[in-house]
């Protein structure tokens, strides 16, 4: 599924409105200027994102698990209190892709692992820059089946963060995660015994970097 943002700004100014505008207080003028800055920022981001390699839908999807996007772990105490669901074994498969213009070699270090909901696991991906120049990369991710995304909780990962590899440099990228035990109570996923975690690396363009600097991260 695809999440999208649509920005529509309409304005109408009459003569009466202009007269009222001239009588606005300094406080009201400040508010209007601030609003103008907001709309200007939105326009800048919309323009910049049109050139960004990384999809725009991350803000909504990452916060909700919508469209197969995983969630970020926020409560350290919850991890300690998790009760594994021993009778529910799940196989996690790992997939790696690169955008057509990305010149890295990117792959998972393991093809799959087995775990149970409520049990933390650590996996690794590797990236290698085989070119003669530094390349900055940024990754997106999702899981299949899509509905499992809300239960796939990542404690630590490399997604949506710029990774800079110099010419000939190799790096290992960790993913620390668990499956929320609540998945065992979801009748729609009762027959699911395999979940696939996929990452795709893009070469980060200047416009994409600007977007991520100006856009607050969803943790």
Per-residue pLDDT tens digits for 115-164: 999 999 999 999 999 999 999 999 999 999 999 999 999 998 888 789 99
Q: What is the C-alpha to C-alpha distance for residues 188 and 36, in angstroms, rounded to an integer? A: 46
Q: What is the mean pLDDT of the chain?
A: 75
Question: Strand, helix or coil at 21?
Answer: helix
Q: Output the pLDDT for position 157.
A: 86
Give the chain's domain count. Answer: 1
The model's pLDDT over 68-116, given as tens digits with 9 standing for 90+, comes to 455 555 566 677 788 999 999 999 999 999 999 999 999 999 999 999 9
Label residue 1 exposed, middle or buried (CB < 10 Å: 0-12, 13-18, 19+).
exposed
How many C-beta atoms surround the C-beta of residue 43 within 10 A? 12
Please compute, for residue 189, the number of CA atoms within 13 A of its CA located in the half-sphere on the CB side: 24
Query: 172 lies in a domain?
Result: yes
Query: 188 lies in a domain?
Result: yes
Q: Is the pLDDT confidence value at 177 over 70? A: yes
The model's pLDDT over 6-24, given as tens digits with 9 standing for 90+, comes to 333 333 334 444 444 445 4
Query: 122 lies in a domain?
Result: yes
Categorize the per-residue pLDDT at 1 as very low, low, confident or very high, splitting at 50, 70 and 90: very low
Query: 88 lies in a domain?
Result: yes
Query: 201 lies in a domain?
Result: yes
């Amino acid at each position: 599924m695809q999440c999208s943002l649509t920005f529509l700004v309409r304005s109408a100014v009459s003569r009466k409105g202009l007269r009222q505008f001239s009588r606005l207080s300094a406080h009201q003028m400040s508010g209007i200027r601030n609003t103008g800055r907001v709309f200007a920022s939105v326009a800048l981001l919309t323009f910049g994102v049109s050139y960004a390699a990384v999809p725009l839908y991350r803000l909504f999807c990452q916060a909700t698990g919508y469209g197969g996007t995983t969630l970020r772990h926020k409560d350290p105490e919850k991890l300690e209190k998790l009760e594994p669901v021993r009778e529910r074994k799940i196989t996690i498969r790992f997939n790696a892709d690169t955008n057509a213009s990305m010149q890295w070699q990117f792959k998972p270090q393991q093809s799959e692992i087995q775990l149970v909901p409520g049990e933390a696991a650590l996996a690794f991906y590797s990236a290698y820059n085989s070119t003669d120049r530094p390349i900055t990369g940024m990754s997106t991710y999702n899981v299949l089946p899509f509905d499992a995304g809300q239960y796939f909780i990542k404690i630590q990962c490399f997604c949506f963060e710029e990774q800079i590899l110099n010419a000939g440099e190799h790096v290992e990228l960790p993913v620390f995660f668990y499956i929320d035990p609540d998945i065992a109570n979801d009748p729609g996923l009762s027959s699911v015994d395999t979940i696939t975690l996929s990452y795709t690396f893009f070469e980060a363009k200047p416009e994409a970097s600007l977007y991520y600097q100006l856009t607050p991260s969803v943790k």
